[in-house]
A and B are shown apart, each in its own frame.
Chain A
Amino acid sequence: MAKTSEKHSRARPARPQPTARRAAATQPATPPKAGTRLTGAQSLMKSLELEGVEVMFGIPGGAILPAYDPLVDSSVRHVLMRHEQGAGHAAEGYAHATGRPGVCMATSGPGGCNLVTALADAYMDSIPVVAITGQVPTAVVGNDAFQEAYITGITMPVTKHNSMVTDPADIPRALREAFHIASTGRPGPVLVDLPKDVLIKESEFVWPEEVDIPGYKPTTKGNVRQIREAVKLIMAAERPVIYAGGGIIRSEASPELSRLAETGRLPVVTTLMARGAFPDTHELGLGMPGMHGHYTAVTAMQQADLLISIGVRFDDRVTGNLATFAPHAKVIHVDIDPAEIGKNRTVDVPIVGDAKDVTASLARELAKAQEERGVPDRSAWLRRLHEWQERFPLRYRQEDGGPLKPQFVLDRLYEATNGDATIVSGVGQHQMWASQHYRFTRPRQWINSGGLGTMGFAVPAALGAKIAKPDELVVAVDGDGCFQMTAQELATSTTENIPIVVAILNNGYLGMVRQWQELFYNERYSEVHLSQTVPDYVKLAEAFGAVGLRAESPDDVDAVLDKALSVTDRSVVVDFRVDQGEMVFPMVPAGASNDDIILGPEFVTPVDDPAEAPVA
């Protein structure tokens, strides 16, 4: 105990400064002298240092105990979480915010099992995460030993790769490969399982400078011929739309995306995973497509004659009914993962490659083509899109003195934070409102659980993001249902001094499920009511050492937000008691065509303008 607390007070700065972070990233540790013998645990920590890891998230336990001893002397900061799921999501939040692999560590058995949800989440959203788990000693592996779980088997379908190391001499190579696989190609989670005896045994530490994995050679450069074909399609298109996905963020391709869009005057939709990849405030930005997307983004794709799809996977939440999705569009599909191309939608021009590289080539080739043949005139298409944006914006009604609308909270939050906060969300109505109403202008400004839809993601992920970006304001916009799934990490926030703002849009319901029951199950509400008053979120926040605030009417919102944002030395939880019956619109019912988008109660007249009729 004494040892641990001493280490914390010595090695852990209260708030890591960005300069220190840069130092960690640019001046990695140097390998020890040849012939140096280290225990497996020391090799592990040395390898993490050599990989430039500045922080990891975890919880110790029996089998992983040896690894926690050299941690005391390591430059790597360890954040002690309250649940392994929190450690996993914090690692994801860190990776979301930086693009560098997030690292989490847990013990064998339940420790590893508790990481599973976070690994599955990272796998679905292509987040680079390296998970290190303890394992029972090799002599008893397979013996149903205490706290044994076959974690490589359990996590096989939800990791990009995993392995159990049986020889301490293999630890440096296993870690080097884990970081390489997690962060290159299509990023994803990698798990390294370390039996206790392997952590204890000594071996000579050899750091492999080169990584050569015969079965792992991601293609990053796009095929030149295909890029020319794509440019031909773009030049010929009358109603093109760039369908930009999370791959843009993962490959840091936002500048190239802007260049491509501006070069060709091509409108851009950004998926839930790509919010911020292209500025919402840009005149070519149409917002988010999909089930709860902006009308213009959804309809633009439906009527487009060309989809320039980059780093997307034609997810069902974007396409709606596939058979009627973007029926007039030819498709260019750029992705680093060949398995995504043609998986859901037949593709006219497939390009396997890194989004940054390919988008840059597309922009360059398009500029050349336009120089030779002139810029195609698409002013009618852009005019039509802007008309839709004006006629069918997001709409809700906040009445003075009426119930507080969640959308109003987000609009005020946007103003109060000058649109500059990093927003982290969980899953459900609050997530959709946040993705719609906060206008994102930079990549990595929006962090959420997309593919897996993991409730409870927000608070721990926000902690990871805050550690990565200590100078940024990190706001977790959460639902009351989500918040209660990982609220214990508020304790981590206080004891590890990671101040975030948690804005709970508290409607007392599992709101999205409630919405579906209202719309599709004849208002037969089944097991969705949680209670708006239990727990008392203000008291709960205080119990965790955070500041607790509450806003119950629209008049309270600005003052409460001001107060919340003025606190910088600890976390703040704001209980926004919002309208319990508010629903998310627009909405495309599950399985329906995107043409059948429902605008919501604020639009009384149906969309019957001939301009909206599908183009033959």
Chain B
Amino acid sequence: MSLHTVSVLVEDQPGVLTQVSSLFARRGFNIHSLAVGTTERPGLSRMTIVVEVTAKPLEQVTKQLNKLVSVIKVIELEPAGSVERELALIKVHTKPDERFQVLELAEIFRARVIDVARSTVTVEVSGPPAKVDALRELLEPYGLVEMVRTGRIALGRGEHGIRDKLRAVAKDVETG
């Protein structure tokens, strides 16, 4: 079992998120994170789904995903060939004498302080998921009040986009 990042280009229609997520549920996969948003094209949304699976059942799920009429394209993004980012908001409990240490950690991680209250500091950190994990770990001893993460988003490296791959596939089919 390992984490895989799947990028799914879908038509922006009601019910699509349920269709996609229920396919994972039906095969017994736990979705590690899921991020959805608009894309460069109106009417199209892109989901970045991180799942914990072995390769073979993942292939079955991507094939099943491809069969959904509202799904335009599914690709797996290999870590080496893609850039991945995540954003987290972390609210840390800070005693007055600890605040400086927390701010210093935030500084090192290029995290921004976005809210300060009498006994808490909220920082915004973004980067590869491992970086977010690292900051979280370092802040934990101070007492995490709450945290929210966007889930991973990712794009393939290089000049081409997911829709180029789509065109390439279409060509492949035509030429046999």
Whether chains A and B associate is: yes
Residues of A at under 8 Å CB distance from B? 152-153, 156-157, 160-161, 163-164, 181, 213-217, 219, 221, 223-225, 337-339, 342-343
Cα A285 to Cα B43 with chains together (Å)? 52
Total contacts A-B at CB 8 Å? 46
Q: Is B49 an interface residue (CB 8 A)?
A: no
Contact A153 B70 (CB under 8 A): no
Q: Which residue of the partner chain, among A153, A219, A224, contacts B15 with CB atoms under 8 Å?
A: A153
Give 23 CB contacts A-B under 8 Å: A153-B15, A156-B18, A156-B22, A160-B67, A161-B69, A163-B15, A214-B72, A215-B10, A215-B11, A215-B68, A215-B72, A216-B69, A217-B170, A217-B173, A221-B173, A221-B176, A223-B176, A224-B176, A225-B176, A338-B66, A339-B63, A339-B66, A343-B60
| Given A339-B60, A339-B63: A215 and B15 interface contact (C-beta under 8 Å) | no
> Is the C-beta of B26 less than 8 angstroms from some C-beta in chain A?
yes
Name the distance in Å between B58's Cβ and chain A's nearest Cβ.
12
Query: B72 — which chain A residues lie within 8 A by C-beta?
Result: 214-215
B6 within 8 A of A: no
| B43 shortest CB reach to chain A, Å | 9
User: For residue B50, which residues in chain A have a CB less than 8 angstroms away from its CB?
Assistant: none
- Which A residue's beta carbon lies closest to that of B13? A163
Tell me which residues across on chain A come within 8 A of B59, comparing CB atoms: 342
Closest 10 CB pairs of A and B: A339-B63, A161-B69, A215-B72, A216-B69, A224-B176, A215-B69, A215-B71, A339-B64, A223-B176, A338-B63
Please name all residues of chain B whose beta carbon is closer than 8 Å to the beta carbon of A337 when the two chains form the complex: 67
Docked CA distance A589–B70 (Å): 41
A214 adjacent to B11 (CB under 8 Å): yes
List which B1-36 residues lie within 8 A (CB) of chain A: 10-11, 13-15, 18-19, 22, 26
What is the distance, in angstroms, from A142's C-beta to the closest C-beta of chain B?
11
- Once the chains are docked, how many angstroms separate the CA of A351 from the CA of B31? 31
Please, which residues of chain A bring their CB within 8 A of the CB of B60? 339, 343
Residues of B within 8 A of A342 (CB): 59
CB distance from B171 to the nearest CB of A (A): 12
Q: Which residue of B lies closest to A181 (CB)?
A: B69
Rounded to whole Å, the gap between the CB of B87 and the closest CB of chain A is 29
B26–A157 touching, CB < 8 Å:
yes
CB distance from A185 to the nearest CB of B (A): 9
Residues of chain A with a CB closer than 8 A to B11's CB = 214-215
Within 8 A of A (CB), among B158-176: 170, 173, 176
Give the nearest-CB partner of B61 in chain A. Answer: A339
What distance in Å separates the Cβ of B66 from its nearest Cβ neighbour in chain A? 7
- Chain A residues lying within 8 Å of B10, measured Cβ to Cβ, are 215
Given contacts A338-B63, A339-B63, A339-B67, contact A156 B176 (CB under 8 A): no
Chain A residues with CB below 8 A from B67, complex form: 160, 337, 339
Minimal Cβ-Cβ distance residue in B for A344:
B60
Which chain A residues border B170 with CB–CB below 8 Å? 217
Minimal Cβ-Cβ distance residue in A for B44: A214
Chain A positions within 8 Å of B69 at CB level: 160-161, 181, 213, 215-216
**Which residues of chain B are near A225, meaning CB under 8 Å?**
176
Q: Could you say which of B18, B63, B67, B170 has the most chain A C-beta atoms within 10 Å of its C-beta?
A: B67
Cα of A526 to Cα of B20 in the assembled complex, Å = 41
User: CB within 8 A of A156: which of B19, B63, B66, B173?
Assistant: B19
Within the complex, what minimum Cβ distance (angstroms) separates A285 from chain B? 32
* Residues in B neighbouring A164, C-beta threshold 8 A: 14
* Bound-state Cα–Cα, A90 to B173, Å: 37
The answer to whether B18 touches A153, judged by C-beta atoms less than 8 angstroms apart, is yes
- The CA of A217 and the CA of B169, in the complex, are separated in Å by 11
A194 to chain B, nearest CB (A): 15
In the assembled complex, which residues on chain A have CB atoms less than 8 Å from the CB atom of B173? 217, 219, 221
Q: Which residue on B lies nearest to A340, using beta carbons?
A: B63
Given contacts A163-B15, A215-B72, A219-B173, 6 further A-B contacts (CB under 8 A): A153-B15, A164-B14, A214-B72, A215-B10, A217-B170, A225-B176
Complex CA–CA separation, A342 to B58 (angstroms): 13
Q: How far is the CA of A214 from the CA of B11 in the complex (A)?
A: 9
Question: Which chain A residue lies CB-closest to B26?
Answer: A157
Residue of B nearest to A166 (CB): B14
A214-B169 Cα distance, complex, nearest whole Å: 13
Closest to B174 in A: A221
Asked if residues B176 and A215 are in contact (CB atoms below 8 Å), the reply is no
CA distance A221 to B172 in the complex (A): 12
Closest chain B residue to A338, Cβ basis:
B63
User: Which residues of the partner chain B approach A219 to less than 8 Å between Cβ atoms?
Assistant: 173
Which residue of the partner chain A has the closest CB to B169? A217
Q: Does A157 contact B70, Cβ atoms closer than 8 Å?
A: no
A157/B15 in contact, CB under 8 A = no
* Residues in A neighbouring B22, C-beta threshold 8 A: 156-157
In contact, B70 and A156 (Cβ under 8 angstroms): no
Q: Which residues does chain B contribute within 8 Å of A216, judged by CB atoms?
A: 69
Q: Which residues of B lie under 8 Å from residue A157 when comparing CB positions?
A: 22, 26
Residues on B with beta carbons closer than 8 Å to the beta carbon of A339 = 60, 63-64, 66-67
Give the distance in Å from the alpha carbon of A343 to the alpha carbon of B11 in the complex: 27
| Nearest chain B CB to A158 CB, angstrom units | 11
Type the 1/0 row for B134-176, where 1 means its CB is closer than 8 Å to any CB of A. 0000000000000000000000000000000000001001001
Docked Cα-Cα span, A164 to B16, in Å, equals 12
Q: Are the CB atoms of B26 and A215 closer together than 8 Å? A: no
* Complex alpha-carbon distance, A343 and B10, angstroms: 24
Indicate with 1 or 0, residue by residue over B117-146, a CB within 8 angstroms of chain A CB atoms. Answer: 000000000000000000000000000000
A95 to B26, CA, bound (A): 28
**Would you give the shortest CB distance from B62 to chain A, in whole angstroms?**
9
- With both chains docked as a complex, state the minimum distance between the C-beta of A146 and any C-beta of chain B, in angstroms: 23
Contacts of A152 in B (CB 8 A): 15
| Cα A216 to Cα B63 with chains together (Å) | 13
Closest CB in chain A relative to B8 CB, distance in Å? 11
